[in-house]
Structure 1
Amino acid sequence: MSDLVQVRDRGHVRVIRMNRPGKKNAASLELAWGVIEAIREATKEDDVWVIGLTGTEDAFCAGLDLTPDEGQEEFIPLSGQDRYLDDLGWVSRFYFTLREECDKPIVGGINGVAVGAGLSLAMATDIRIMASSARLLAGYPRIGGSPDGGLSITLSQAIGYEQAMKFLLENRTVTGEEAKSLGMVSQVVPDDQFDEEFDKYLDLLTNLSPITARTTKRVLRTANRIEVEKQLHYELWNIGKSLGSLDGQEARRAFIEKRPPIFTGRTE
């Protein structure tokens, strides 16, 4: 297991903690695949009944690491052929692993900022508890992109179609109470009580039979199921189109140059 992902067991609870505070837990290949593999390992162990996923210091996950360290390819846990044939990548696997591969309840402890792919990861958890000063931001519009990581699924499920459209297109930043009122999280706690309340809720869920917890997630997952892989591929296709467009290139230039973008809608 990567040092960027810490795993701690307490009774029937496993807490997975992203531990890259110097970069606000930005998702390098090492961290992203480390989270995916940690969830997979917890899924396979019968003594783990409930999974908690959180970050360190003031960040849950600040999205894609734009300045990754060298040698990141070695952290992809796929064979050469599987890597060549892979059509999802780590970002789509955030959703696929947490919601589809894992049938145990996963509680997201949003201790700090969650942006872009970090927000997708947070929303892929089943239940979310948030520190009052934490911030949620999609971030995709400011770099000329559309959502990925299953966010088109989870956000629509959590807050409904219209509110999801507004949140994404307005590129809004929401903190605890607004996130709760929208339905993005179920509980907001003061910052100085976050760790205690997060652990308390995880322990609460272990009062249930693990069979009950798993079957409950299974039936709810099926009731809300769409063609998941098709949707994840469609997300990737659309973000590729938007990021590769002239407006997408302009959005990233403007972001780097700290100026308002000038969009034309032209394709050539």
Structure 2
Amino acid sequence: MSNQSIKITIQNNVAYVTLNRPEVFNSFNREMALRLQDTLDQCEQNDEIRAIVLTGEGKAFCAGQDLKEVTHPELNPGFKKILEEHYNPIIQRIRNIEKPIVGAINGVAAGAGANIALACDIVVAHEKVSFIQAFSKIGLIPDSAGTFFLPRLIGFQKASALMMLGDRISAVEAERLGMLYKVLPLETFKEEVTALAEKLAKMPTKALGLTKKVLNQSLTNDLESQLALESKHQIEASESEDYREGVASFVEKRTPNFKGK
């Protein structure tokens, strides 16, 4: 399946979702934002898919908003629509799909592109990648949940500085700060992303989805609420087919064959 601005391929239970406007560094226009939402919905509903990789075509991951669209007198959807109908629903889908999403950052991630990357469950980048909170350079504030995730990932002071100054930081520095899981060599980037995604696709998908749900709530819960939530979802996980298979494989000293149920 593919369309003009989003490509999707499915292999070994992994959906590879690619932002596909390389001529403008995969910057978002309305069509691409809506297509990405539709594609993520397809990934959520397709039981064959047990892990998702989000990446970009060409030299960039995503340069954020296509400024030609917002400055066009006829095409400009306005910032209310851009936020409420484009970026906010994308972030909500990334966080609410109960399947692991790998952000495979293949090039510069700027503005909304940087913050969409931060919303993924596991973020990897190759050594030539850079991240930039570019909003202040054009008189805007960070959106796409950047003000929610970045301070929690790297601390209030660092996040404030990066957002106000708009500094470009390398993937190596981003890893050091805690923005991403791992920096991968450029030469083996695609192979290592595939290996990571296929490993996730063979794991107990239901448990991973519940882990994601509990982590989401941990961002706002107090301790007592979080303990109660852990209890609720641990009981749910213990009733799954994958739990029974995991225990059986441990007792029998064999590799588990999880089904994601």
Report TM bin, short chain: 0.7 to 0.9
Matched, 1:156 2:157: no
Structure 1 contact 107–129 (Cα < 8 Å) conserved: yes
Within a 5 Å distance, the mapping from 1:67-78 to structure 2 comes to: 67-68=68-69
User: Quick one: structure 1 residues 115 and 191, their matched pair in 2 at CA, closer, same or farther if it must change by over 3 Å?
Assistant: same
Q: 1:197 aligns with which of 192, 199, 204?
A: 192
User: Quick one: structure 1 residues 223 and 25, their matched pair in 2 at CA, closer, same or farther if it must change by over 3 Å?
Assistant: same
Query: How many positions carry a matched residue from both structures?
Result: 216
Q: Equivalent residue for 1:107?
A: 102
For residues 90 and 150 of structure 2, what CA distance do their matches in structure 1 show? 14
Counterpart amino acid of residue 38 in structure 1: T
Deviations 1:225-250 (A, max 9, x none): 47xxxxxxxxxxxxxxxxxxxxxxxx
Unaligned runs of 5+ in 2: 222-261
For residues 86 and 172 of structure 1, what CA distance do their matches in structure 2 show? 24
Matched, 1:123 2:118: yes
For residues 85 and 110 of structure 1, what CA distance do their matches in structure 2 show? 26
For residues 86 and 5 of structure 1, what CA distance do their matches in structure 2 show? 18
Structure 1 segments, 4+ long, off by >2 Å, are 68-74, 84-87
Pairwise CA distance, 1:2: 3.0
Structure 2 contact 172–183 (Cα < 8 Å) conserved: yes
Structure 1 contact 120–148 (Cα < 8 Å) conserved: yes
**Partner SS, residue 15 of structure 2:** strand
Pairwise CA distance, 1:94: 2.4
Pairwise CA distance, 1:195: 0.9
Q: Equivalent residue for 2:141?
A: 146
For residues 201 and 86 of structure 1, what CA distance do their matches in structure 2 show? 32
Within a 5 Å distance, the mapping from 1:178-257 to structure 2 comes to: 178-225=173-220
Counterpart amino acid of residue 20 in structure 2: N
**Partner SS, residue 220 of structure 1:** helix
Q: Equivalent residue for 1:10?
A: 11
For residues 169 and 59 of structure 2, what CA distance do their matches in structure 1 show? 15
Pairwise CA distance, 1:191: 1.6
Matched, 1:173 2:173: no
**Partner SS, residue 159 of structure 2:** helix
Counterpart amino acid of residue 61 in structure 1: C
Counterpart amino acid of residue 17 in structure 1: T
User: Quick one: structure 1 residues 9 and 85, their matched pair in 2 at CA, closer, same or farther if it must change by over 3 Å?
Assistant: closer
User: Quick one: structure 1 residues 128 and 164, their matched pair in 2 at CA, closer, same or farther if it must change by over 3 Å?
Assistant: same
Pairwise CA distance, 1:73: 8.7
Counterpart amino acid of residue 168 in structure 1: M
For residues 112 and 82 of structure 2, what CA distance do their matches in structure 1 show? 19
Counterpart amino acid of residue 12 in structure 1: N
Within a 5 Å distance, the mapping from 1:85-100 to structure 2 comes to: 88-100=84-96
Structure 1 contact 94–124 (Cα < 8 Å) conserved: no
User: Quick one: structure 1 residues 70 and 49, their matched pair in 2 at CA, closer, same or farther if it must change by over 3 Å?
Assistant: farther
Unaligned runs of 5+ in 1: 75-83, 227-268
Counterpart amino acid of residue 112 in structure 1: G
TM-score when normalising by structure 2: 0.77
For residues 164 and 131 of structure 1, what CA distance do their matches in structure 2 show? 22
**Partner SS, residue 172 of structure 2:** helix
For residues 85 and 51 of structure 2, what CA distance do their matches in structure 1 show? 26
TM-score when normalising by structure 1: 0.75
Give the root-mean-square deviation of aligned CA atoms. Answer: 2.3
For residues 208 and 154 of structure 2, what CA distance do their matches in structure 1 show? 23
For residues 188 and 87 of structure 1, what CA distance do their matches in structure 2 show? 30
For residues 35 and 86 of structure 1, what CA distance do their matches in structure 2 show? 14
User: Quick one: structure 1 residues 72 and 6, their matched pair in 2 at CA, closer, same or farther if it must change by over 3 Å?
Assistant: farther
Counterpart amino acid of residue 39 in structure 1: L
Q: Equivalent residue for 1:40?
A: 41
User: Quick one: structure 1 residues 18 and 159, their matched pair in 2 at CA, closer, same or farther if it must change by over 3 Å?
Assistant: same
For residues 90 and 82 of structure 2, what CA distance do their matches in structure 1 show? 14
Structure 1 contact 30–72 (Cα < 8 Å) conserved: no
